[in-house]
Chain A
Amino acid sequence: MKKILLTVFLALVFGLGPGAVALRAGGQQGGTDEALFREAKLLVFDKSWKAALDKLDELLDRFPSSALAGQALFYKGECLDGLGGRERDALRAYKSYIRLEDAKPSLIEESEGSIVDLAFGLYEKGDASALKDIEARLDHKNKVVRYYAAYKLSFVEDKKEALKAAPVLSKIIETEKDPELLDRARIALLRVSPESLKSAEESQPRAGLTARTLHIRIRGAGQKEPAFSLNIPFALADLAFSALDEGDKAAIRRKGYDLNKIFSELAKTKILKIAGEDGSLIEIWID
């Protein structure tokens, strides 16, 4: 069944260009649930949300018992999400889909992620209660959903709410190996709870430099107190240097330093001091 569907889908998308376009443009009523579903998917692919939604609604109205009705619900969520202004309807569609017995794991994951995104969008528009949908996913059985909910919650302006993401983010640091995921969790924890990041890093038996803290201080000419101050896990060192202010990066480069040279110097000296031509001073050390 799946192969047949894909074949027809591919034929429409890739093989029957003009025919498919005509079918789309004509908006003629498809004869079967499969035809409606194919047309809707094509329209989704082209981000023609309204037209796709009409097809999916027709399918759900005319063939409520169709084997494709479930998937149609998922794609309906995609359309409502894409349309904008119908976030709550999209949420309802996704929530209905994940409750279905025959829901596909990959589409469930997608739906859960979309629910988190939609809830976050509603929160940003002033609906504080929408956060419940994100919080409810912090202990989801699927770690992909759990992690994404925690990551998204870390962006919430209300620090008390954002702090609820800390246990899951700490768990990522303690248990995950994917460097991309780890860096995201570190940055997110730095945002909501630097102390949780510190204890999560310290609980890890990481060898050598990665377990240490990188310090950067930048002082303007004649200034006693630093204009820029940073204490972060050494694991984020590479990202930290890339994320420095452009002027500071240029000053470091002008003095002939790159990341490798900085690290090799730090192996020899306790604190690396780079004096800028304008009298500024960059201090870097690891402890």
Chain B
Amino acid sequence: MKHDEVDFFLKETEAVRAEIRAAADAVDWDALPGIIADRAQAGAPKTGRVPWAARLWEGLAPLRMRPVLAGLLGGLLIGAGAMYFILKAPAGRAGADGAYYASGEFLDRAELEMARRNTLDYLERSQYMLLDVFESADEGPVVPASLRTERARDLLQKKKYLNAQLERLQMAKAKALCDQIEALFLELSQMDDDLAAAELGKIRGYVEERQLLLKINLVKKELQSGV
């Protein structure tokens, strides 16, 4: 072989090598085994009737090579199915047959309204209780100790329910005041003997010092106006 021929041969070899490199780069080596397997399956002789599911799967075979696309298609199908059922079932359907029905959103608003009303009621009852203590401090016990204890316990029970509601509904100002009154009722609920006027006077002093009745009125006003 002459020198020119050798030179030409080497150049051509280099060109072919570059082409091979480009072709190799174009191959997705990770997916290649899957492609080979799919083609081998596709080329295999079919015996008897192929089930519809297998045919469908076969049709979707290319997607197996593209998990992202397969996932996307799956998501679209599920989403479309969900939309179909959502749009098919009208909002009023839930209670159309006469059974009781209320949405979660409505129940939350009902809870809020109930909390407002019950807090108002609690504060009013607390006011009566404190006024009774005031009166008893001036004129001696107006109601028997056992009744006062019972009332205090009743208010403590009501407060338990309010705690759950006030915490959930973020009525912080009302809760702080109710907490303050509750501590007083916890003490009164444990006293089954008649308290002396002097002792009742001290409670009165405490209530006045902390302006609890004024605070009760202010919070009541806010709750009455729906704040």
Contacts and interface: CB of A to CB of B under 8 A. Distances in A.
Contacts of A232: 100-102
B98 interface: yes
Interface stretch (A131-139, A186-194, A263-271): A186-194
Interface in A210-258: 213, 215, 217, 224-233, 236, 239-240, 242-245
A213 B100 contact: yes
Given A194-B102, A231-B99, A240 B110 contact: yes
Given A10-B206, A144-B157, A239 B113 contact: yes
Contacts of A110: 156, 186
Contact of A191 (B94, B99, B107, B193): B107
A243 B101 CA distance: 15
Contact of B153 (A106, A151, A187, A224): A106
B209 interface: yes
A141 interface: no
Contacts of A224: 90
B164 A151 contact: yes
Given A148-B160, A180-B158, A3 B193 contact: yes
Contacts of B100: 190, 194-195, 197-198, 213, 231-233
B195 interface: yes
A2 to B, nearest CB: 6
Contact of A229 (B95, B112, B156, B164): B95
A15 interface: yes
Interface string B114-127: 10001001000000
B176 to A, nearest CB: 10
A115 to B, nearest CB: 11
A180 B191 CA distance: 27
B111 A187 contact: yes
Contact of B95 (A104, A148, A230): A230
Contacts of A233: 100
A6 B153 contact: no
A80 interface: no
Given A107-B190, A151-B164, A194-B101, A228 B199 contact: no
A246 to B, nearest CB: 9
A180 B118 contact: yes
Contacts of B193: 2-3
A230 B153 contact: no
Contacts of A24: none
Interface in B115-154: 118, 121, 149, 152-153
A9 B110 contact: no
A286 to B, nearest CB: 12
Interface in B34-73: none
B82 interface: no
Interface string A121-162: 000000000000000000000001000100110010000000
A225 B186 contact: no
A102 interface: no
Majority secondary structure of chain B interface residues (helix, strand, loop or mixed): helix
A6 B195 contact: yes
B153 A229 contact: no
Nearest to A120: B164
Nearest to B152: A106
A57 to B, nearest CB: 21
Given A10-B206, A225-B91, A225-B92, A106 B189 contact: yes
Contacts of A61: none
Interface string A9-45: 1110111010000000000000000000000000011
Given A198-B99, A232-B101, 19 more contacts: A3-B193, A14-B205, A14-B206, A15-B205, A148-B160, A155-B164, A194-B101, A213-B98, A215-B95, A226-B90, A228-B106, A229-B92, A229-B94, A231-B101, A236-B110, A239-B110, A239-B113, A243-B112, A287-B98
27 contacts: A2-B193, A3-B196, A3-B199, A11-B202, A14-B203, A14-B205, A17-B209, A106-B156, A106-B186, A109-B156, A110-B156, A144-B157, A151-B161, A183-B114, A184-B161, A194-B100, A197-B100, A213-B100, A224-B90, A225-B92, A226-B90, A229-B91, A229-B96, A230-B101, A230-B102, A236-B110, A242-B113
Interface of A: 2-3, 6-7, 9-11, 13-15, 17, 44-45, 47, 104, 106-107, 109-110, 113, 117, 144, 148, 151-152, 155, 180, 183-184, 187, 190-191, 194-195, 197-198, 213, 215, 217, 224-233, 236, 239-240, 242-245, 287
Interface of B: 90-96, 98-104, 106-107, 109-114, 118, 121, 149, 152-153, 156-158, 160-161, 163-164, 179, 183, 186-187, 189-193, 195-196, 199, 202-203, 205-206, 209
